[in-house]
Amino acid sequence: MSSLTFERLGKSYGAAVVVSDVSLTIRQGEFVSLLGPSGCGKTTILRMVAGLVEPDRGRIVIGEEDVTALPPNRRGLGLVFQSYALFPHLTVFENVAFGLRRRKVVGAELDKRVREALALVRLDAFGARYPRQLSGGQQQRVAIARALAPRPRVLLFDEPLSNLDAQLRDEMQIELKRLQRGLGITTLFVTHDQSEALSMSDRVGVMAQGVMQQFATPEDIYHRPATGFVASFIGKPNRLAGKVASRHGAGGSVRLGDGLILPAAQIGAAEGATVDVVIRQEAVGLNGGPVENAALRGVVALRSFNGARVQYVVRLDHGIELVAEAASGGANSALTIGSEVSLSIDPRSIFATPAEVAS
């Protein structure tokens, strides 16, 4: 187990810059996610760490060792692929034993360590099977056991849960997190799924177009997005076009639609500028009942129930529409289409960014 450091890591294919001077340090035992839309360079970074892609610029340091020029087999890492990438012609036992055999572990010690690794992922009884005889979730657990067995210095995950169905994914998230905590292994986790990244990580790096937008704790990423991209990428955003009405420190107020003025916590443009305004759905509060004294009023245009939450599309008087959420079974979970509601919006969840940056 070691720390992992990138120093000004960069990669281009022809004229396309895939990763642009990314620097960060993952502390020993830390769980760090790289989060971003596909093509943002996160997987390229992971493959550079693994030694599968050669960086054009910068250094990769594991612990105290500069591994930038080492081939993958001499980096002492574990890598879990989205496709699992198990050896189809080998049994589960031999899959897990593969890395150990490469490290000259043999006999009783080999047997013991394979069993330990399989026990960690609760597949003790499956050693004799072939990968094709396992379900997707089981295959993924074999892949994790295979990566863990040689006791790697750093564990890398490349979208490991994307091929699993939703329920299994939630279970695996918890299981993975527990495993990582228990072993205290330095982990780099690449994903495009923000809930995965936010819930599992000690720190999250949000990337867009090869550039690290923000590297911070999940709470900071969510509540204090550093760039417009992060604000609009994280959470479930309402995206609206508007103008900056006034500036006040980091924030101020924005004008939406035909004259609705809302306070905003973060504004990245000067007064009068055209901006994209992001309002988190979860920050929009709804109230049925009397609306006469409400500052903000609207009419329910659409209701959709998705189990734990109810989503409403609300048309405001000012000619704009907002999506808002209410807890299922709560006081405002049964508003009918056409009913009048009052709205309250938490200004800390309103962000405005210059219009051209919109993604």
Segment lying near another protein (by CB under 8 A), choices 82-90, 176-184, 197-205, 286-294: 82-90
Q: With CB under 8 A as the contact rule, which of the stretches 69-77, 188-196, 218-226, 301-309 interacts with another protein?
A: 69-77
* Size of the chain, expressed as the number of residues it contains: 359
From candidates 7, 17, 28, 81, binder to another protein by CB under 8 A: 81
Please give the size of the binding site for another protein, defined by CB under 8 A. Answer: 27
- Are 274 and 358 in contact by the 8 Å Cβ rule? The answer is no
- Tokens 């960690």 map to which residue? 120
Q: Of 240, 247, 252, which is closest to residue 316 (Cα–Cα)? A: 240
Q: What is the 3-state secondary structure (H, E, C) of 146-194?
A: HHHCCCCCEEEEECCCCCCCHHHHHHHHHHHHHHHHHHCCEEEEEECCH
Q: Which is nearer to another protein, 90 or 316 (CB)?
A: 90
- Interstrand relation of 309-316 and 297-305 (parallel, antiparallel or unpaired): antiparallel
Does 328 contact another protein by CB under 8 A?
no
Per CB under 8 A, the segment of 146-154, 232-240, 313-321, 338-346 that binds another protein is: 146-154
Cα separations in angstroms, 238 against 274, 282, 317, 349: 17, 10, 17, 11
Of 65-73, 171-179, 303-311, 336-344: span binding another protein (CB under 8 A):
65-73
CB 30 within 8 A of CB 201: no
Which x/- pattern, by CB under 8 A, does the window 23-62 give for another protein?
---------------------------xxx----------
Judged by CB under 8 A, does residue 85 bind another protein? yes
Three-class SS of residue 98? helix
Interaction between residue 86 and another protein (CB under 8 A):
yes
Given the rule CB under 8 A, which residues bind another protein?
Answer: 50-52, 71-75, 77-79, 81, 83, 85-89, 98-99, 102-103, 130, 132, 146-147, 150
